[in-house]
């Protein structure tokens, strides 16, 4: 499950993967079996022993999430935190994850797939994965274009992710070669319908502003599911919708120019505001919500 040629990894890749495997062994209280993982590598590859997720999964074949580790230097220069939100599907991190996803999507147990990578600002690395887990971490979840597999991809700190996994039911001593209570993966969105209330039509007519307001109202009223990817917390207890014009156009079926025009109408009517001063953050005025 290593990303690079097993016979020619960089020193940075060797060190990065070694440290990530140790993190997993430590968190699951399996460090006493580190010699088994090292011996597995030597048996299969010869040469100097080292830790890889390949050998980890040979020793612990029922681990609940399939993991890879991929090192890339100067990630902060090539991928700013803001880019994760604005154009994640175009970023190399998403492409790296798709490569890992393609390698393991045929897993007979349907386990989630995770790619561990370094990233500026994430202590001890982050993980890009398709698991449907409530780790209670600060995370970002992105819809895959056209709602295709793996449907949604999440980015969050790796340390928090494995800490959450370690609280689960998995144990190598209890599995007996079987996957016990496999973790759930992201699935296709069942319904993405937009509902139009009579008061919305009366207030806005039937133009693009109506469609936009109904969509914003739907997103802000959602406590779970697909719409959560567009919710952003500005301050404690204050939420807004965080989406680009292009993303809103894709969700509503409107042309980008119609989205811009509709947003202008809603701002002029005092129904939305941009608390950050930018186009990405949109807050519905509470008075308008009360009218619903």
Between 126 and 31, name the one with better pLDDT.
31
Q: What is the largest CA-CA distance in the chain?
A: 75
153 plus 223 within the same structural domain: no
Count of domains in the chain? 2
> Do residues 157 and 250 both lie within one domain?
no
pLDDT at residue 123 tops 80: no
With a CB cutoff of 8 Å and minimum separation 6, the contacts of 25 are: 31, 33, 34, 37, 56
Residue 217 φ/ψ, nearest 5 degrees: -65, -40
Indicate the range of 104-118, 123-137, 173-187, 193-207 predicted with least confidence.
173-187
- Integer Cα distance of 182 and 108 in angstroms: 11
Are 157 and 203 found together in one domain? no
DSSP per residue over 85-117, as a string? HHSGGGSHHHHHHHHHHHHHTT-TT---EEEEE
In-domain check, residue 178: no
Same domain for 247 and 146?
A: no
* Same domain, yes or no: 96 and 143: yes
Predicted pLDDT at 245: 84
**Which contiguous run of DSSP H or E holds residue 129?**
strand 126-129
User: Quick check: 1 pLDDT over 70?
Assistant: no
Domain that holds residue 59: 11-166
User: What's the CATH number where 208 sits?
Assistant: 1.10.10.10
Using alpha carbons, select from 10, 98, 109 the residue that is nearest to residue 57: 109
Predicted pLDDT at 80: 65
Task: Select the highest-mean-pLDDT range: 59-68, 125-134, 136-145.
Answer: 59-68
- List, for residues 248-285, the tens digit of each pLDDT value: 887 777 888 888 888 888 888 888 877 554 445 676 65
H/E run at residue 35: helix 34-45
The pairing of strands 126-129 and 152-157 is: antiparallel
Residues 224/228/233/239 CA torsion (nearest 10 deg): -70
Same domain? For 21 and 81 the reply is yes
Verify that 36 and 158 share a domain, yes or no.
yes
Whether the model pTM is above 0.95: no
């Amino acid at each position: 499950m290593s990303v690079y040629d097993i016979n020619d990894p960089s020193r940075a890749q060797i060190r990065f993967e070694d440290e990530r495997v140790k993190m997993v062994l430590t968190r699951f209280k399996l460090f006493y079996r580190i010699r088994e993982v090292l011996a597995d590598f030597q048996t299969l590859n010869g040469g100097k022993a080292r830790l890889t997720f390949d050998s980890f999964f040979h020793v612990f074949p029922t681990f609940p999430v399939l993991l890879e580790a991929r090192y890339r230097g100067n990630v902060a220069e090539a991928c700013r935190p803001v880019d994760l939100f604005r154009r994640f599907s175009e970023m190399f991190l998403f492409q790296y994850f798709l490569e890992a996803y393609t390698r393991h999507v045929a897993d007979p147990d349907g386990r989630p797939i995770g790619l561990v990578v370094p990233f500026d600002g994430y202590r001890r690395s982050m993980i890009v994965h398709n698991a449907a887990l409530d780790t209670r971490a600060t995370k970002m979840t992105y819809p895959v274009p056209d709602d295709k597999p793996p449907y949604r991809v999440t980015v969050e700190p790796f340390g928090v992710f494995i800490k959450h996994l370690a609280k689960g039911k998995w144990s190598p001593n209890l599995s007996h070669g079987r996957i016990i209570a496999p973790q759930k993966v992201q699935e296709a969105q069942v319904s993405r319908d937009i509902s139009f209330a009579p008061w919305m039509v009366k207030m806005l007519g039937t133009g693009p502003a109506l469609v936009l307001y109904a969509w914003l109202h739907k997103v802000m009223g959602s406590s779970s599911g697909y719409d959560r990817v567009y919710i952003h917390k500005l301050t404690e207890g204050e939420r807004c919708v965080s989406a680009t014009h292009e993303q809103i156009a894709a969700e509503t079926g409107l042309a980008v120019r119609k989205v811009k025009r509709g947003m202008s109408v809603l701002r002029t009517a005092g129904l939305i505001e941009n608390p950050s001063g930018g186009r990405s953050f949109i807050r519905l005025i509470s008075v308008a919500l009360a009218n619903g």
